[in-house]
Amino acid sequence: MLVVEDAEADYELVLHALRRARYDVHALRVEDEHAMREALVHDRWDLVISDHRLPTFSASAALHTLQSSGLDLPFIIVSGAIGEDVAVEAMQSGADDYILKDRLARLIPAVERCLKASEARMRQREAEAALRESESRLRAITANLPGMLFRVHTDEEGIPQAFTYASEAAERLFGVAPQALLDSPHSLHRLIHEADRLRFDTALAHAALARSRLHWEGRAAPRPGHDEEGERWVQIEASPRECDTPGLVWDGLISDISALKQAQADVYASRDELRRLSGHLERAKEQERARIAREIHDDIGGTLTGLRADLAWIKKRFGADPLMAEKLESMGALLDSAMQASVRIARDLRPPILDFGFGAAIEWQAKDFQKRTGVACRFRCEGDAEPDTDRATAVFRIFQELLTNIAKHAQATQVEVTMQSDGRMLRLEVLDDGIGLAESDRSKRGSYGIRGMIERACELDGRLVFHRPPRGGTRALLELPLSAP
């Protein structure tokens, strides 16, 4: 306790009153401004008590000295005589209380009250400092976030009622000052492109009714003065919580995902380009296969047929010689094998059955699979399907690959093939009772059979899907339009 007092007896009287109240007092008496300033600098104090009038000092001067030091200490005036107007003026200037020396009984309650008030002020200052530090950190964090933090209040159905917070990123993302957004409960709505607002409102309403997290992507409204800029995309993430008033409070983040959307668009465009290239290569390959098949049939087949005629003529002329007959018979067998090989190669390159109708070609492939593998293969056709040449060839090749996979890996004993058409779409289902297709088989490195079939279907604006039926095995379903759109 620092005591501003010129009378030693009055100083001791104050100390005696405090010690009687069981205070452990460390006190220092000063009489002028210089001594008071020295004491305030060189020691720590909990309380200042000052006489009203000293020969060279006064309570008002002591209060001014305390205030100018920057310390916030309780200041109590203890005086033998002080007018009410002077006391009120001192209290208005910052004194905490005043006590008359002939009424020192009031000193202890006044000290206790002032110490509590001082402690409360200290806690408030600490809380305010912590709040300022927290706000400073928040501003620093939000300033470096790639998106705009916001808080909006809605009713129970997700209709905005108040927009209560927007970070500084609002200026960067939307060209709008944060304070301008707080003026209207519909500010969040106006940040979204007009064409996407209904979709956003619907998503917010569903999230509010379900009390679930909001995740939405859409286009942002054009920034003021940037009417010519390209399309911008934003992602809105927000979580709801209950509040004291009816409705919900949403805390969220709006991020600019335009670069991500552009990257996705570039990837999709690249995929489409690769798919078109793959389709072009497949068509070129089929055309080349057909050309080679025709050449094998016309040229090699014709040559082999001519050789057979020549061999028959030689048999007639020289067949009587046993050695010559044996050699001619061997040559005939080799010639038959070459003719069969040429027919088989030509058929694999370009199945001639496709020239007799698409449905007949699929049925023939099913019967040929059963004949070669011994696996029962039942074919059922519902509706007439006559796709264009490219699609017919692609479907035939996909079906051929599906049957090949079944023969190699499925360990099936029965296959059911169903082909349906409504005049616009073709639907081909292949169901086997084998061991089933595992998920790892679809993404096996170095294996492109399934991927190739799926990509080929996509290139024709169709789809090929696989799944395991409850009874086991594998079900492959191919759907695609009968003609190009």
What does the pLDDT average to over 435-439? 79
Residue 217 pLDDT exceeds 70: yes
Decide: 255 and 147 in contact? Cβ < 8 Å: yes
Residues 88 and 156 in one domain: no
As given in the structure block, the two tokens for residue 270 are 């690249």
Tokens of 476: 């492959």
| Residue 415 resides in a domain | yes
What confidence category does residue 53 fall into, taking pLDDT thresholds of 50, 70 and 90? confident
Residue 137 lies in a domain: no
Structure tokens at 30: 């000063």
Q: How confident is the model at residue 21 (pLDDT cuts 50, 70, 90)?
A: confident
**Listed residues 73, 92, 124: the one ending a domain:** 124
Copy the structure tokens of residue 375. 């696996």
Mean pLDDT, residues 360-383 taken together: 90
Over residues 48-55, the mean pLDDT reads 88
Terminal Cα distance for the chain, rounded: 95
Residue among 233, 295, 297 nearest 260 (CA) = 233
Query: Average per-residue pLDDT in the chain?
Result: 85
Is pLDDT above 90 for 122?
Answer: no
SS3 track for 223-262? CCCCCCCCCCEEEEEEEEEECCCCCEEEEEEEEECHHHHH
pLDDT band per the 50, 70, 90 thresholds, residue 205: very high
Domain boundary among 64, 91, 124: 124
Residue 85 located in a structural domain:
yes
Residue 89: which residues within 8 A CB-CB, separation 6 or more? 60
In a domain, 135, yes or no: no
Q: Residue 439's domain is classified under what CATH number?
A: 3.30.565.10
**Structural domain count, the chain:** 4
User: What is the structure's pLDDT at 441?
Assistant: 66
Domain contains 136:
no
Same domain, 360 and 477: yes
Residue listed under structure tokens 């690249």: 270
DSSP 187: H
Give the per-residue pLDDT at 40.
92
- Give me the CATH number covering residue 172: 3.30.450.20
Q: Are residues 244 and 278 in the same domain?
A: no
296, 225: one domain: no
How sure is the predictor about 179, in pLDDT bands with cuts at 50, 70 and 90? confident
Domain that holds residue 152: 146-256
Bridging pattern class, strands 376-382 and 414-421: parallel
Say if CB 74 and CB 117 are below 8 A apart. Answer: yes
Asked whether residue 90 carries a pLDDT value surpassing 60, the answer given is: yes
SS3 51: coil
Q: What number is the average pLDDT over the span 24-37?
A: 91
What the block records as the tokens of 392 is 């017919």
Question: Is there a single domain that holds both residue 369 and residue 335?
Answer: no
Query: What is the DSSP secondary-structure string of 459-475?
Result: HTT-EEEEE--TTSSEE
Residue-wise pLDDT tens digits, 378-401: 999 887 778 887 788 888 889 988
The predicted model gives 231-240 an average pLDDT of: 92
Q: Is residue 21 part of a domain?
A: yes
Q: What distances in angstroms separate CA 71 from CA 75, 122, 201, 243, 343, one per listed residue?
A: 11, 11, 55, 40, 108
Residue 156 near residue 246, CB atoms below 8 Å: yes
> What confidence category does residue 259 fall into, taking pLDDT thresholds of 50, 70 and 90?
confident
Q: Of the candidates 24, 28, 57, which has an alpha carbon nearest to the alpha carbon of residue 41?
A: 28
- Shared domain for 294 and 382, answered yes or no, is no
Per-residue pLDDT, 28: 92
CA–CA gap between residue 406 and residue 27 (Å, rounded) = 101
Q: Is 362 in the same domain as 468?
A: yes
Q: Are residues 246 and 278 in the same domain?
A: no
- The answer to whether residue 140 sits within a structural domain is no
In this prediction, residue 414 carries a pLDDT of 93
- CA pair distance 282, 91, nearest whole angstrom: 97
- Are residues 278 and 237 part of one domain? no
Same domain membership, residue 294 and residue 276: yes
- Based on the fold, state whether residues 169 and 231 are members of the same structural domain: yes
For residue 130, being part of any structural domain is answered with no
Helix 389-405 and helix 449-459, axial crossing angle in degrees, nearest 10: 160
Task: Quickly list H helices, 319-385.
Answer: 322-349, 358-373
Specify whether 213 is located in the same domain as 276: no
Which of these three, 211, 230, 256, is where a domain ends?
Answer: 256
pLDDT of residue 228: 66
Q: Phi, psi (5° rounding) for residue 241? A: -150, 155
